[in-house]
Amino acid sequence: MNAPQLTQCDSRDEPVNENTVPSNHSSSHAARDSSPSSEGERPPLPPRPSTLSLLNDESASRATRQAGPTTAVSRTDIDTQTNEVPGSAYPSLAIRGISQGLKAKASLGHLTSSRGSEAGDTASIRSSVQNGDVGDVDALFKDFVASAPEGHLESTGLLHFPEFPADNVDDDEFLTEFDPVGEIDEDAGNEDLLLERFKAKKKHYLILSAAGKPIWTRHGDGGLISTYVGIIQTIISFYEESEDQLKSFSAGDTKFVIVTHGPLHLVAISRMMESETQLRLQLEALYMQILSTLTLPSLSHLFSIRPSTDLKRPLQGSETLLSSLADSFTRGSPSTLLSALECLKIRKQHRQSINNALLKTKASNLLYGLVVAGGRLVSVVRPKKHSLHPGDLQLLFNMVFEADGVKAGGGESWIPICLPGFNSSGYLYMYVSFLDLRGEVDENEDISKDESVAIVLISPDKESFFEMQGMRDAFVDQMEKNGSLKVIRAAIDQGRPATTDIVPGSVLHHFLYKSRANVQFTMSSFAPTFNSIVRRRRLMSIYNNLHASIHAKNTHVKVHHCVSRSASSFAWVTPVFEFYCVAEPNANRNALVQSATKIAQWVQHEEERLFIIGGAVF
Amino acid sequence: MSESAGANGPKPSSSVKLVLLGEAAVGKSSLVLRFVNNDFQENKEPTIGAAFLTQKCALPTRTIKFEIWDTAGQERFASLAPMYYRNAQAALVVYDVTKPSSLTKAKHWVAELQRQASPGIVIALVGNKLDLTNDGGDTSAAPETETESAGPDGDEAAGEEGEEQDATPGDARKVSTREASGYADEEGLLFFETSAKTGTNVVDVFTAIANAIPESSLKTGRGAAGAGGQNTLGGRSGDDSRVNLGDRNAATAKEGCAC
């Protein structure tokens, strides 16, 4: 594979414009190199008819590629996918490809299109592309071919190179993303330094009220960034005044996405190549967290009596929940990406006996009962007429496992919580207790986070703490007796399987499999390839892009294969499941598809162990 | 003196329900963590809702098992507080010696407890974060009866003179010991200044509370704390007289009528 040289698309100083960095590496060959060429002095090549010489690189493997019945891959599918590149990178490429001179126009057009319309800027521009600018596209591909001089450095290991410039950081550097910006001195002498640190962050979240009051920001405090909040507020209200709604815009490689819910504006600012849809989902989750703290009626009430209400105070203490949620997005969360839950893999019969223990010990005031091992669901008990919403569980897991407020207390907790998916208008009460499966203290905190097992019992009755405590004691007793605790412990120790455990010799290094009907997913272990936080982030970037590509509007892509210098990746969507996987950059496509097929078969075979189907219902 | 590991074989054991109240970020959870696990975490995340912990405290004549409700200090949780203090026999009202507003909030809690909690509730006023003051390590506010040591955490201040002093330059203290202890005296509260970070006085607070619970109000064995049988406390010393802090019997003083 002619792996293109990864280039710095350092175009942040440009005026507002479409993404300069390809956010979609399905177009990777073209994108990666056309983009710098358009930045450079050299005028872009004129459109010309083409044989898509780029694809010649792939033609060999293409020819041998198995369009096999196993994956229901047809050649047309792949071709379609290759040409019909979804995502925002495409239009920006087209614009650049046409002419530098069009830039100003493009950005204007971009601005106008980004206000209002459902589809947003990308869609509108894309539609024009789809209307037959094939020549330009070809030009781009040509462009790439012409300008891919140092494409072949040595062949690389999987994700040794970041797929995207935003991921081009080492572990320490990435970890600084989560460091506090710091506080302003009394004489504000360090303001410049702090602002520099603030601007160095790759990702920002801001929540402000419609009246312009900052409510929460992930980085920096209100004083430091008030000017930025003011600017955003001005931009948003500019559109509001004309009865319009600003949804997103881009500046250089930075994407701004705005979600408005009643009196709140939530803003995500990302240089991490996430799609608008993905950022929107993240903002929705933050909004859910606010509802979970306050409930919808009290939020509306606060603002209806005083539109200038300062929400900081009512939210006091929940900032850490917002932050840990935001950080899990920044680190990359398969659960959020797929809007699905992960379960602990145990035998069906073992799960059954845990379910039975839950049912047997069920307290009369119980609404939901959960056993959760490090963010993986082990068992659920619920009323017949109420299912659990993945969004609610995400908040709950974030609170229990990610934010330290609950666990560090060391005792049992009793927490009023609103589960907006269940009912956004009132509180439920959540009993949380951690099981000590080890006896001894773990030396590594990360491990213990993955290994801690929580019993979560949710009741509508705020006085039922001791009832829940009694249930917990009886339930744990039962699990002790029937060996379930040992089973859980063994399953945690075993961890997630490596791809090679499932398919010996597989070329795949990691996969995600989402069962659509169960709204659950499973994945292979991150070790050994993705142990470091940065590698994991890069992996998630690849998944983000696969996901964005395959879910792009107006496309009906079923199979999607991308190759870049650092990885080859593959997505496959059927009515039953969504499958995403990653392999070495030079992985044989045949082998890749075969492994994917085998893993999908394995998952379906192990379905009742990997997923909770039905669960305990009363 | 209060290690849970103490020989508690023959001694009667009783449980005491205790609630911690106070403004956010004054160090309630840290006090509990110090008392229960002899541990301290810098930058602890805020408590959400409330946490329930237990710890035994061995007295010469009996063992007290504290059932502790560590409540969140944020205002939005305030409406849940009655649930936790309703049947409590003891309350720790905590403020931050570097933050005057937290003492004001503490006074509100004391007033609410005196109005609404069980009549005989033992209330201790605790000024935390003593390590941030110049008299960081010393036991300035410790009652005479408790001067020997803070127990297992190796209180480095054991031998120091306990002298009261007001804020001095370079000192983060904003609430003088005199002001707070004067208020505690008026209201008949136990009073301590503590540092959960260094461990200063932490165990002493709980020991003093254990000692201050009237024998008559202790039920033996491990009762379900939700049973609510705690309103028969022997707090009949309804006079407003100054309480000799640390005195085992007089600490329940408060106005006689609870409502």
Q: How far is CA B72 from CA A414, A456, B89, in A?
A: 10, 19, 19
The alpha-carbon gap from A468 to the nearest alpha carbon of chain B, in Å, equals 12
Maximum average pLDDT range among A150-154, B110-114, B156-160: B110-114
Interface of A with B (CB under 8 A): 293-294, 313-314, 316-318, 320-321, 399, 403-406, 408-417, 430, 462-463, 465-466, 469
Whether A499-610 and A184-331 are alike in CATH topology: the answer is yes
**Pick from A126-140, A402-416, B16-30: least confident:** A126-140
Question: Chain B contacts of A294, Cβ < 8 Å?
Answer: 76
Distance CA A258, CA B33 (A): 41
3-state secondary structure of A67: coil
Question: Chain A contacts of B54, Cβ < 8 Å?
Answer: 411
Predicted confidence at residue A177, as pLDDT, reads 80
pLDDT by residue (tens digit) across A518-576? 999 999 999 888 888 888 888 998 999 899 989 887 778 789 999 888 889 999 999 99
Distance CA A436, CA A140 (A): 59
Give the distance from CA A283 to its chain's centroid: 11
Question: Chain B contacts of A321, Cβ < 8 Å?
Answer: 48
3-state secondary structure of A500: helix
Predicted confidence at residue A581, as pLDDT, reads 95
For residue A154, give the nearest of A443, A586, A588, A615 by alpha carbon: A586
* A320, A403, A411: residue with CB nearest B52: A411
Pairwise CB contact (< 8 Å): B33 & A410: yes
Distance CA A342, CA A354 (A): 17
**What architecture is domain A184-331?**
2-Layer Sandwich (3.30)
Would you say domain A346-495 falls under CATH 3.30.450.30? yes
More confident residue, B241 or A596: A596
Best of A395, A404, A413 to mutate (most B CBs within 10 Å, chain B):
A413
* A314, A406, A411: residue with CB nearest B76: A314
B30 touches chain A (CB under 8 A): no
Pairwise CB contact (< 8 Å): A416 & B77: yes
- Return the sign of the alpha-carbon dihedral for residues A496, A501, A502, A503: positive
B81 touches chain A (CB under 8 A): no
The percentage of residues in chain B with a pLDDT greater than 70, rounded to a whole number, is 67
Predicted confidence at residue A163, as pLDDT, reads 62
Predicted confidence at residue A611, as pLDDT, reads 95
Pairwise CB contact (< 8 Å): A321 & B48: yes
Phi and psi angles of residue B205, each rounded to the nearest 5 degrees, phi first: -60, -50
Predicted confidence at residue B158, as pLDDT, reads 37
Predicted confidence at residue A55, as pLDDT, reads 34
Q: Decide if A84 contacts A12 (C-beta within 8 A).
A: no
Predicted confidence at residue A68, as pLDDT, reads 33
Bridge partner residues of A416 (DSSP): A429
pLDDT by residue (tens digit) across A196-223? 888 888 899 999 998 888 999 998 877 7
Predicted confidence at residue A160, as pLDDT, reads 63
Pairwise CB contact (< 8 Å): B44 & A318: no
Best of A415, A436, A457 to mutate (most B CBs within 10 Å, chain B):
A415
Distance CA A285, CA B191 (A): 45
pLDDT over 50 at A159, yes or no: yes
Question: Chain B contacts of A456, Cβ < 8 Å?
Answer: none
Domain ranges of chain B: 13-224
Q: Which fold, B13-224?
A: Rossmann fold (3.40.50)
Predicted confidence at residue A16, as pLDDT, reads 36
Cα-based angle A467, A472, A474 (whole degrees, multiple of 5): 95
Question: Chain A contacts of B74, Cβ < 8 Å?
Answer: 316-317
For A464, nearest residue in chain B (alpha carbons)? B226
* A313, A314, A416: residue with CB nearest B49: A416
Pairwise CB contact (< 8 Å): A317 & B72: yes
pLDDT over 80 at A148, yes or no: no
User: Which residues 174-233 of B have a C-beta within 8 angstroms of A?
Assistant: 224-226
- Torsion, Cα B81 B83 B89 B90, to 10 degrees, reads -20
Question: Chain A contacts of B52, Cβ < 8 Å?
Answer: 411-414, 465, 469
Confidence of residue A49 (pLDDT cuts 50, 70, 90): very low
Pairwise CB contact (< 8 Å): A409 & B72: no
B154 touches chain A (CB under 8 A): no
Pairwise CB contact (< 8 Å): B45 & A316: no
**What mean pLDDT is predicted for residues B149-170?**
43
Confidence of residue B169 (pLDDT cuts 50, 70, 90): low
Q: Give pTM, 2 decimals.
A: 0.74
For residue A97, give the nearest of A33, A149, A51, A150 by alpha carbon: A33
More confident residue, A131 or B198: B198
Pairwise CB contact (< 8 Å): A466 & B225: yes
3-state secondary structure of A617: strand
pLDDT over 90 at A66, yes or no: no
B7 touches chain A (CB under 8 A): no
H/E/C letters for each residue in B32-60? HHHHHHCCCCCCCCCCCCEEEEEEEEECC
pLDDT over 80 at B51, yes or no: yes
B244 touches chain A (CB under 8 A): no
Pairwise CB contact (< 8 Å): B50 & A414: yes
The alpha-carbon gap from A179 to the nearest alpha carbon of chain B, in Å, equals 14
Distance CA A357, CA A361 (A): 6
Q: How far is CA A102 from CA A39, A114, A133, A255, B79, in A?
A: 13, 18, 15, 21, 61
The alpha-carbon gap from A221 to the nearest alpha carbon of chain B, in Å, equals 17
Distance CA A530, CA A70 (A): 29
Give B90's contacts (C-beta < 8 A, 6+ positions apart): B16, B17, B18, B19, B121, B122, B123, B124, B209, B212, B213
pLDDT by residue (tens digit) across A465-498? 999 999 999 999 999 999 999 999 999 999 999 9
Confidence of residue A439 (pLDDT cuts 50, 70, 90): low
User: Which residues 88-107 of B have a C-beta within 8 angstroms of A?
Assistant: none
For residue A503, give the nearest of A599, A600, A588, A601 by alpha carbon: A599
Question: Chain A contacts of B32, Cβ < 8 Å?
Answer: 409
**What mean pLDDT is predicted for residues A180-198?**
77
For residue A574, give the nearest of A73, A24, A25 by alpha carbon: A73
Question: Chain A contacts of B224, Cβ < 8 Å?
Answer: 466
Distance CA B93, CA B128 (A): 10
For B25, nearest residue in chain A (alpha carbons)? A317
For residue B119, give the nearest of B217, B207, B192, B30 by alpha carbon: B217
Predicted confidence at residue A72, as pLDDT, reads 32
Distance CA A418, CA A398 (A): 14
H/E/C letters for each residue in A505-546? CCCEEEEEEEECCCCEEEECCCCCCCCCHHHHHHHHHHHHHH
pLDDT over 80 at B97, yes or no: yes
* A316, A413, A465: residue with CB nearest B74: A316
How many C-beta atoms lie closer than 10 Å to residue A160's C-beta? 12
User: Which residues 47-66 of B have a C-beta within 8 angstroms of A?
Assistant: 47-54
For B225, nearest residue in chain A (alpha carbons)? A466
Counting one residue from chain A and one from chain B, the pairs whose CB atoms sit within 8 A come to: 87
Question: Chain A contacts of B75, Cβ < 8 Å?
Answer: 313-314, 316
Pairwise CB contact (< 8 Å): A317 & B37: no
More confident residue, A83 or B81: B81
Pairwise CB contact (< 8 Å): B46 & A416: no
Distance CA A86, CA A37 (A): 22
The alpha-carbon gap from A176 to the nearest alpha carbon of chain B, in Å, equals 18
* B24, B80, B224: residue with CB nearest A317: B24
For residue A392, give the nearest of A369, A416, A421 by alpha carbon: A421
Q: Decide if B211 contacts B111 (C-beta within 8 A).
A: no
Domain ranges of chain A: 25-65+86-153, 184-331, 346-495, 499-610
Predicted confidence at residue A131, as pLDDT, reads 38
Q: Decide if A410 contacts A539 (C-beta within 8 A).
A: no
Q: How far is CA A299 from CA A294, A302, A445, A470, B42, in A?
A: 6, 5, 36, 34, 32
Distance CA A308, CA A212 (A): 8
pLDDT over 60 at A233, yes or no: yes
Instruction: Write down the residue that tokens 């520099």 correspond to.
Output: A196
Question: Chain A contacts of B38, Cβ < 8 Å?
Answer: none
Kind and range of the H or E run holding A373? strand A368-373
Predicted confidence at residue A322, as pLDDT, reads 95
Confidence of residue B152 (pLDDT cuts 50, 70, 90): very low
**Pick from A154-163, A183-192, B58-67: least confident:** A154-163
For B75, nearest residue in chain A (alpha carbons)? A314
Confidence of residue A274 (pLDDT cuts 50, 70, 90): confident
Average pLDDT, chain A: 75
State in words which class domain A499-610 has: alpha beta
Give A103's contacts (C-beta < 8 A, 6+ positions apart): A15, A17, A95, A96
